[in-house]
């Protein structure tokens, strides 16, 4: 058996994670995918932005020293042999040197492109992979560290949200299989990052290590993917908002995808695409509670009669409302979505009034101003564009909703009884998902009300 997996870690728990890998490595062929240490990706993004705005060699020195401390401490803790320790420190020194030079470059240029931002954030994963691999070697497990590019994750040049190119699976297979089958070694691959065909480093979007793991799993026909998180698995709702939320032992790909699209932060929204076609189960496990079963995401699951299975909440989003499209509705729609796509604005949800006069589109609040400005250029005597900020999106997800009458009725009656005003509603014919927008002051409350209405919580 073989599987890929993402490991969550901070300085102290690398050894814990490598010991877990060792435990499974005897009887399985394993590919490990790692993401940056906690907080490092954010810190790198922040440093890159700072350098492009207020250049300061002193700041760069300090920042790099801070990163070094964090990673050298991790080496100290996780690598149990002087010899191996020295080797990995040599590798890290070169990386820190490179990082310092790139940050200096950015501050000289006074400009940060998406391409250089990807290059800088890649250091989080590029620093941790050699440490993780060295820790495995020091435990007696043969291992080799690879970047996403080395592993064959070749992507387009959509920096910040890159996608693998067609044919990528064969490339990955040709690079990874010899390592696990012939060399019998454990590859430790940097999650989150890939490479474009010109060799430049790209990233797959925040939380992209999950996606890296499932891409590799699909390429090598893995038996399972294990995603190690800091929570037990997928819950009926985020326990941060709904304290009596329960763990869901089994969920289908479609249900899990709907949830991650609508803000459940547990999975990268694209992470299930590569494994769905091959029906490779994805197990979400808690690093700190490895004996718990976690949640299994797979194709065919038994429906135990639950209609609504889980809820997600996007706390703040914006609605862009296009009004008065009238007779040219289809043309206007295509123009609107083309413009949004061209500007890489992610559309979360859409609704249209049956009079065909009105189109409402939900976007991330961070994209809202841009989307609004772009669409405003379409305004004419007939048509007007308006932006509504501070809405929350609640999504109810469950394959059992399809064909079950009265689910929408129950949702909106419960909200009505609690005097919550619904601003926008959407349900597609898949009937897997009913989503609605409310004022963001009502978001968490709406989530709790629906959670109670369908008795999703533990009593
Ligand atoms: N380190 C990256 C991030 O923080 C990728 C990941 O965590 O999966 O987004
Ligand atoms: Mg991360």
Residue range 380-394, pLDDT digits in tens: 878 899 999 999 999
Which residue's CA lies nearest to atom 7 of ligand 1? 207
Distance 38 CA to ligand 2 centre (A): 6
pTM of the model: 0.86
Assess whether pLDDT exceeds 60 at residue 140: yes
Picking from 43-47, 135-139, 254-258, which range would have the lowest pLDDT averaged per residue? 254-258
Which residue's CA lies nearest to atom 6 of ligand 1? 207
- The residue that leads in pLDDT, 125 or 289, is 125
Query: In 60-146, where do the E strands start and end?
Result: 143-146
Give 195's strand partners: 154, 201
Q: Which ligand is nearest to the CA of 209?
A: 1
pLDDT band for position 306 (cuts 50, 70, 90): confident
Residue 216 near residue 151, CB atoms below 8 Å: yes
Residue 227 near residue 284, CB atoms below 8 Å: yes
Q: Which ligand is nearest to the CA of 129?
A: 1
Of the residues 8, 36, 214, which should be mutated to test ligand 1's pocket, given the most ligand atoms within 8 Å of the CB? 36
What is the rounded distance in angstroms from the CA atom of residue 132 to the CA atom of residue 129?
5
Query: In 43-150, where do the E strands start and end?
Result: 143-146
Query: In 291-383, where do the E strands start and end?
Result: 295-298, 310-323, 347-352, 358-364
| b/e map 136-169, b = 16+ CB within 10 Å | bbbbebebbbbbbbbbbbbbeebbebbbbeeebb
Per domain, the residue ranges of the chain are 2-223, 310-453
What is the rounded distance in angstroms from the CA atom of residue 234 to the CA atom of residue 262?
14
Token pair listed for 444: 């968490």
The share of the chain scoring above pLDDT 70, in percent, equals 95
| Nearest atom (ligand 1) to Cα of 210 | 8
| DSSP state at residue 232 | S
Assess whether pLDDT exceeds 60 at residue 183: yes
Q: Provide CATH code, domain 2-223.
A: 3.40.1160.10
Report the pLDDT averaged over residues 75-102.
96
What is the rounded distance in angstroms from the CA atom of residue 178 to the CA atom of residue 287?
28
Contacts of 346 (CB under 8 A, 6+ apart): 363, 364, 367
Distance 208 CA to ligand 2 centre (A): 8
Residue range 338-380, pLDDT digits in tens: 999 999 898 999 998 866 688 999 999 999 999 999 999 988 8
Pocket of ligand 1 (CB under 6 A): 35-36, 41, 124, 191-192, 206-209
| Nearest atom (ligand 1) to Cα of 36 | 1
Residue range 196-209, pLDDT digits in tens: 999 999 999 999 99
Q: Which of 261, 227, 264, 260 is nearest to 242 (CA)?
A: 264
Residue 138 near residue 79, CB atoms below 8 Å: yes
Of the residues 10, 32, 35, 287, which should be mutated to test ligand 1's pocket, given the most ligand atoms within 8 Å of the CB? 35
Q: Which ligand is nearest to the CA of 124?
A: 1
The CATH number corresponding to 310-453 among 1.10.40.30, 3.30.2130.10, 3.60.15.10, 1.10.3720.10 equals 3.30.2130.10
Distance 360 CA to ligand 1 centre (A): 31
Assess whether pLDDT exceeds 60 at residue 79: yes
Total Cβ atoms within 10 A of residue 62? 12
| b/e map 95-117, b = 16+ CB within 10 Å | bbeebbebbeebbeeeebebebb
């Amino acid at each position: 058996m073989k599987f890929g997996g993402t490991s969550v870690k901070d300085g102290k728990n690398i050894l814990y994670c490598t010991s877990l890998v060792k435990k499974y490595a005897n009887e399985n062929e394993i590919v490990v995918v790692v993401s940056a240490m906690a907080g490092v990706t954010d810190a790198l993004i922040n440093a890159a932005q700072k350098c492009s705005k207020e250049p300061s060699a002193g700041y760069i020195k300090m920042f790099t020293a801070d990163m070094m401390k964090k990673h050298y401490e991790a080496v100290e803790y996780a690598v149990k042999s002087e010899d191996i320790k020295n080797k990995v420190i040599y590798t890290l020194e070169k990386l820190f040197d490179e990082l310092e030079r790139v940050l200096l470059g950015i501050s000289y240029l006074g400009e940060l492109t998406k391409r250089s931002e990807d290059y800088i954030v890649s250091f989080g994963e590029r620093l941790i992979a050699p440490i993780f691999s060295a820790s495995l070697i020091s435990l007696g497990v043969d291992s080799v560290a690879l970047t996403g590019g080395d592993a064959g994750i070749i992507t387009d040049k959509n920096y910040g949200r890159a996608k693998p190119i067609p044919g990528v699976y064969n490339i990955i297979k040709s690079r990874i299989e010899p390592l696990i089958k012939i060399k019998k070694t454990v590859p430790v691959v940097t999650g989150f990052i890939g490479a474009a065909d010109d060799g430049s480093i790209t990233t797959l979007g925040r939380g992209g290590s999950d996606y890296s793991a499932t891409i590799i799993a699909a390429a090598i026909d893995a038996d399972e993917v294990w995603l190690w998180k800091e929570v037990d698995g997928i819950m009926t709702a985020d326990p941060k908002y709904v304290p009596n939320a329960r763990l869901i032992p089994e969920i289908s790909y479609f249900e899990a995808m709907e949830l991650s699209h609508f803000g459940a932060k547990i999975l990268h929204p694209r992470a299930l695409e590569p494994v769905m076609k091959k029906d490779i189960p994805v197990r979400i496990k808690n690093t700190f509670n490895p004996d718990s079963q976690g949640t299994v995401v797979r194709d065919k699951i038994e429906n135990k009669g639950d209609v609504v299975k889980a809820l997600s909440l996007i706390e703040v989003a914006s609605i862009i409302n296009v009004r008065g499209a009238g007779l040219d509705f289809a043309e206007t729609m295509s123009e609107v979505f083309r413009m949004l796509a061209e500007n890489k604005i992610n559309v979360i949800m859409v609704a249209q009034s049956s009079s065909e006069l009105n189109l409402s589109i939900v976007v991330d609040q961070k994209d809202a101003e841009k989307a609004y400005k772009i669409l405003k250029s379409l305004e004419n005597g007939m048509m007007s564009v308006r932006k509504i900020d501070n809405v929350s999106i609640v999504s109810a997800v469950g394959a059992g909703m399809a064909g079950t009458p009265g689910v929408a009725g129950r949702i909106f009656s419960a909200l009505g009884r609690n005097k919550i005003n619904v601003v926008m509603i959407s349900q597609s014919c898949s009937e897997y998902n009913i989503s609605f927008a409310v004022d963001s002051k009502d978001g968490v409350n709406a989530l709790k009300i629906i959670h109670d209405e369908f008795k999703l919580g533990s009593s």
